[in-house]
Chain A
Amino acid sequence: MKFRLNKTVAAVTSGALLLIAVPLAGFATTSSAAAKPTYVIGYEGPLSGGNEQLGLNMIFAVQLAINNANATGKLPFKLKLAQYDDQGSGTLSPAQAQAAVANKKLVAIVGPAFSGATKAAEPYYSAAHVATVSPSATAAALAFGTKNNFMRVVAGDDVQGAADATFLVTTKGLKSLIVINDGSFYGAGLAAVVAKSATADGATVTPYTYPETGSCGGTASVSQYTAAATQIVADKAAGIFYGGYYCDFGLLLGALSSAGYTGTIMSGDGSWSTALITGTSPASAANNVYLSEAGGGNANLTGKLASEYKALSHFSANNATYAAQSYDATNMIIAALSDIMRPKSLTALRGDLVTELHKLTFHGVTGVIKFQGNGDLTRSSVVDFGQVQSGTINSIGHS
C-alpha cells in the first residue's frame, strides 16, 4: 500500500512538474523570439520545369548567404528562407507573388529570376512594398521609375544585347545574322536589342520567332525546330543569335546539327547553364556555341564560398549561373535590413527596406553594387563571354 501510494504521489508530482515546466519552456522560447525576431527572405524562380537548373543555381546561393549570416550570431534577427516556385512562368508567378506577400514574416524577395515572371509578379510586390532584388531578370523594360521596388544586381539586356551584337559583328566579323527569339518577354527583348545593335553595326539581320515548346514549359511543338533548321540552313546566314532559355536552345541546336548548319551560334545568359550541354541531343551539337552573361565582375563563387556552395547544393559553383549574383542580392538585403532594424510594423519595415536598398552601396563578391532609382546598377556592367568546349562552358573574356 505504501509502495502504491508512493507511486501515485510520484506520478502526480511528475505531472505537476510537467505542467509547470511546459509553460516555462514556452515562455523561454517566446522571450528569446521576442529578443531576436525571425524574418523571411523569399526566393522566387524556376525550381521545377524545363529551366529549373537556373533556379537551383540561385536558391542554394540564397540559402548559403542566409546560413552564413545566421551563423555569425551578430544579427539582431534570425533569417529563414521561403521558396516560391514559379517555373519561370509569367502565368504562375502572380500566384507565387501573392503567397509571398501574404507571408507575415517576409521582408524581401531575391528574384523573381525570369523577366516574364517578374513582369507578371511585380504589381503584387509593388503594392505590398516588397523589395525584389533579382539576380537574373535582365529585360530592359523592367527598370523604370524613381524608387522602383524592383532592383537587379545584373545589367539589363540593353547592355548585354549590345555587347553580344558587337561580339558577333565586330569581333567575329559576321555580316549576316539570324536573330531568333523564343517569344518570351526576356527572349524577345534581348533578341530585339541584338537585332537593332547588329544592324547598327552593319550586319544584315533576319528575325525569327520560335515559341517555347511543350518540352520546356511552353506549348509549341518541338517539331517546329525541324522546319526551322531547314529554313535557317537555306538562309545561309553566317551566324545565329538565340534570345531565350537553355532548354529550347538545346532543342534548336539539336535540329541545327541534324540539318547540317555550320555557322557561328550564340545565346545570352538564359542559356548559360551546364544543363544546356546535358539537354542537347547530341551533346556535340552544343560544342563551340558562344554564350554571354550580364553579370560582370566575378561571375562565380570562388574559394571557401565555392566549397560551402558545393556542400549545400551537391554541384559545382563553376558555371552555376547567377549563384554569385544571388549570394550578393541576399547579402545586400541582409545588410539593408540590419541598417534599418528597429521595432516597427511589417508594412513599414518592407517600405523602409526598399528605401534603404536604394541608398546602400554594397561590396559583394561580384563587385560594388549600387542601384539607380529605376533599379538598374549605377556601374556600367561588364558582359562576360563563354564558349562550350568539349562539354564544358569556358570563360573566353568579357566586353
Chain B
Amino acid sequence: MGAFGHYLTSHFATLRLEFWGLLVGGLATGFIYGMVAIGYTLVYGVLRLINFAHSEIFMCGGFASYFVMKAIVGTSVPSGFASIGLITLGVVAGAAGGAIAATALERVAYRPLRRRNAPKLAYLISAIGASYFMYNLAGKEFGRYNIAMPQLYLNHPVFSIFGAPVELYYLVILIAGLIMLIGLDRLVATTKLGRSIRAVAQDAETASLMGVNIDRTIALTFILGGALGGAAGFLFGLGSGVVYTMGFTPALKAFTAAVLGGIGNLRGAVLGGLLLGLAESFSVAFVQAAYIDVVAFGILVLVLLVRPTGILGERLGRSA
C-alpha cells in the first residue's frame, strides 16, 4: 500500500471512531451559522445588500445576554428547571440585544441612505463603517479580552449515539436553534408580516402600491434577523465566552453559508450553515484544523461553479 493509501486508511479509521461525535458537533456549529445566515439572507431579500455589520449584531447579542446572566446568576451552578429558565432568558436577552442593535443600525446606517436613493456602494461603506464603530466601541467599553459566560448548567453527557456522548451544551444549541428556525420559517410563510417581507423582497414598489408599509417592513426584517443573530451570539458565548471580535469569523462563515444555500432563501441559509458546520467538523479529523477554511471555501467555490445561485437557488419573495 502506498503512502496515500495508508493516509486514507488511517484517516477513515479515525473517522469511523469519531463519526457521531463530529456529526453532533458539526450540527451544533451549523445551527449557529444558520441562525446568523438568516440575518444576511433576510436583509438581502428586502434591500438587495449584504449587511456587513451583522457580525456586530451577533456580538451585541452575546454581550447583552452576558450582562443579563451576570446580573442574575450567582456563584453556584444552577440545575434542572433553573437552568432551563436561565437558558431561555439568555436566548431572549441575546435576541433582544441583537434586535435593538439591528434596529439602531437600520435607522442610523441604512434608512438615511435609502431616503436619499444612495448608490449600493454607499450602503456597503456605511455597513463597514458601522461594523468598525460597533466592535471598537465594544472593545473600549467591555475590554479587549475574552470573558466567560456565567455557568448556567453543569455540562455532562445526556445520552450517547453509537458510543459517542452527546453533551448538554450541544443539545442546548440543537434544541434552541431548531425551535427558532422552525418558528421563523412559519412566521415568514404564514403571517401577515411574513407576506409583507416576501412582497417587499419580490417587488418593493408594487408592494408599496398594495399598501405594504415599506419602512416598517424593512425595520421588522432587521429586527427578525437581528433577534436570530443575537440569540446565536448567546449560544456561541455559552461555549466560547464573549469578546468584541467574536462576530468576525462566525459571521463570515454564516455569509458563506447564505451564499452556499442560495442568498435570499431562508431554508437555503440553514442548509448552507449545516453543510458548512459539518464540513468544518469533519475536515478537522479528516484533513487538519489548519485546512478547515480551505475546505469550507473550496466547497463554496465548487458549489457555485455548478450552481451559481447556491444549492437551493435564490428564492426571493417566496415563502422559503
Q: What's the Cα separation between A220 and B144 when bound, in Å?
A: 18
- For A209-247 the 0/1 string (1 means CB < 8 A from B) is 111011111011111111111110110000000000001
Verify B241–A281 contact, CB threshold 8 A.
Answer: yes
Verify B148–A215 contact, CB threshold 8 A.
Answer: no
Q: Which residues of B contact A51 (CB under 8 A)?
A: 145
- For B151-188 the 0/1 string (1 means CB < 8 A from A) is 10001110000001101011000000000000000000
Does A258 make an interface contact (CB < 8 A)? Answer: yes
A107 to chain B, nearest CB (A): 29
Does A288 make an interface contact (CB < 8 A)? Answer: no
Does B92 make an interface contact (CB < 8 A)? Answer: no
A11 to chain B, nearest CB (A): 48
When the two chains form the complex, which single residue of B14, B77, B282 contacts A234, counting CB atoms closer than 8 Å? Answer: B14
Q: What's the Cα separation between A255 and B167 when bound, in Å?
A: 10
* Segment touching A, from B116-124, B214-222, B262-270, B289-297: B289-297
Residue of A nearest to B277 (CB): A223
Known: A228-B289, A283-B151. A221 touches B250 (CB 8 A): yes
Does A208 make an interface contact (CB < 8 A)? Answer: yes
Verify B284–A228 contact, CB threshold 8 A.
Answer: yes
Verify B245–A230 contact, CB threshold 8 A.
Answer: no
Does B126 make an interface contact (CB < 8 A)? Answer: no
Q: What's the Cα separation between A209 and B288 when bound, in Å?
A: 7
- For A256-282 the 0/1 string (1 means CB < 8 A from B) is 011110000000000000010011111
Verify B241–A213 contact, CB threshold 8 A.
Answer: no
When the two chains form the complex, which single residue of A217, A221, A230, A280 contacts B293, counting CB atoms closer than 8 Å? Answer: A221
Verify B18–A234 contact, CB threshold 8 A.
Answer: yes
Does B131 make an interface contact (CB < 8 A)? Answer: no
Q: Which residues of A contact B236 (CB under 8 A)?
A: 222
Does B274 make an interface contact (CB < 8 A)? Answer: no
- For A42-53 the 0/1 string (1 means CB < 8 A from B) is 000000111111
Verify A230–B285 contact, CB threshold 8 A.
Answer: yes
A315 to chain B, nearest CB (A): 13
Q: Give residues 243-301 of B contacting A (CB, 8 Å).
A: 243, 245-246, 248-250, 253, 277, 280-285, 288-290, 292-293
A228 to chain B, nearest CB (A): 6
Residue of A nearest to B55 (CB): A214
Does B17 make an interface contact (CB < 8 A)? Answer: yes
Q: What's the Cα separation between A208 and B291 when bound, in Å?
A: 12
Verify B149–A281 contact, CB threshold 8 A.
Answer: yes
Residue of A nearest to B281 (CB): A227
Q: Which residues of A contact B283 (CB under 8 A)?
A: 227
Does B94 make an interface contact (CB < 8 A)? Answer: no
Residue of B nearest to A233 (CB): B21
Verify B21–A50 contact, CB threshold 8 A.
Answer: no
Q: What's the Cα separation between A260 and B139 when bound, in Å?
A: 32
Does B239 make an interface contact (CB < 8 A)? Answer: yes
Verify B241–A48 contact, CB threshold 8 A.
Answer: no
When the two chains form the complex, which single residue of B26, B241, B288 contacts A254, counting CB atoms closer than 8 Å? Answer: B241
Q: What's the Cα separation between A37 and B314 when bound, in Å?
A: 69
Q: Which residues of B contact A220 (CB under 8 A)?
A: 249, 289-290, 292-293
Verify A279–B146 contact, CB threshold 8 A.
Answer: yes
Q: Which residues of B contact A213 (CB under 8 A)?
A: 249
Q: What's the Cα separation between A209 and B284 when bound, in Å?
A: 10
B126 to chain A, nearest CB (A): 23
Does A284 make an interface contact (CB < 8 A)? Answer: yes
Verify A247–B146 contact, CB threshold 8 A.
Answer: yes
Does B37 make an interface contact (CB < 8 A)? Answer: no
Q: Which residues of B contact A282 (CB under 8 A)?
A: 77, 148, 151, 155
- For B1-29 the 0/1 string (1 means CB < 8 A from A) is 00000000000001001100110011011
Verify B290–A209 contact, CB threshold 8 A.
Answer: yes
Does B212 make an interface contact (CB < 8 A)? Answer: no
- For A336-372 the 0/1 string (1 means CB < 8 A from B) is 0000000000000000000000000000000000000
Q: Which residues of A contact B32 (CB under 8 A)?
A: 223
Q: Give residues 190-239 of B contacting A (CB, 8 Å).
A: 236-239
Does A251 make an interface contact (CB < 8 A)? Answer: yes
Verify A223–B29 contact, CB threshold 8 A.
Answer: yes
Q: What's the Cα separation between A251 and B22 when bound, in Å?
A: 17
Verify B146–A250 contact, CB threshold 8 A.
Answer: yes
Q: Which residues of A contact B241 (CB under 8 A)?
A: 215, 250-251, 254, 279-281
When the two chains form the complex, which single residue of B243, B281, B282 contacts A50, counting CB atoms closer than 8 Å? Answer: B243
Does A90 make an interface contact (CB < 8 A)? Answer: no
Verify B248–A214 contact, CB threshold 8 A.
Answer: yes
B281 to chain A, nearest CB (A): 4
Known: A222-B236, A226-B28, A282-B148. A258 touches B250 (CB 8 A): no
A208-B288, A227-B281, A281-B151 given; name 5 further pairs at CB < 8 Å: A214-B250, A222-B246, A227-B284, A230-B25, A278-B148
Verify A231–B240 contact, CB threshold 8 A.
Answer: no
Does A183 make an interface contact (CB < 8 A)? Answer: yes
- For B113-139 the 0/1 string (1 means CB < 8 A from A) is 000000000000000000000000001
Name the 9 nearest CB pairs between A and B, nearest first: A214-B249, A227-B284, A230-B21, A279-B146, A226-B25, A223-B29, A282-B151, A281-B148, A227-B281
Verify A260–B248 contact, CB threshold 8 A.
Answer: no
Does B147 make an interface contact (CB < 8 A)? Answer: yes
A selection of 24 A-B contacts at a CB cut-off of 8 Å is A50-B145, A51-B145, A183-B290, A210-B290, A213-B249, A215-B241, A220-B290, A222-B240, A222-B246, A226-B28, A226-B29, A227-B282, A227-B285, A229-B25, A257-B155, A258-B155, A259-B25, A275-B146, A280-B241, A281-B240, A282-B77, A282-B148, A282-B155, A283-B151
A229 to chain B, nearest CB (A): 8
A396 to chain B, nearest CB (A): 24
B274 to chain A, nearest CB (A): 12
When the two chains form the complex, which single residue of B146, B157, B288 contacts A215, counting CB atoms closer than 8 Å? Answer: B146
Q: What's the Cα separation between A216 and B164 when bound, in Å?
A: 29
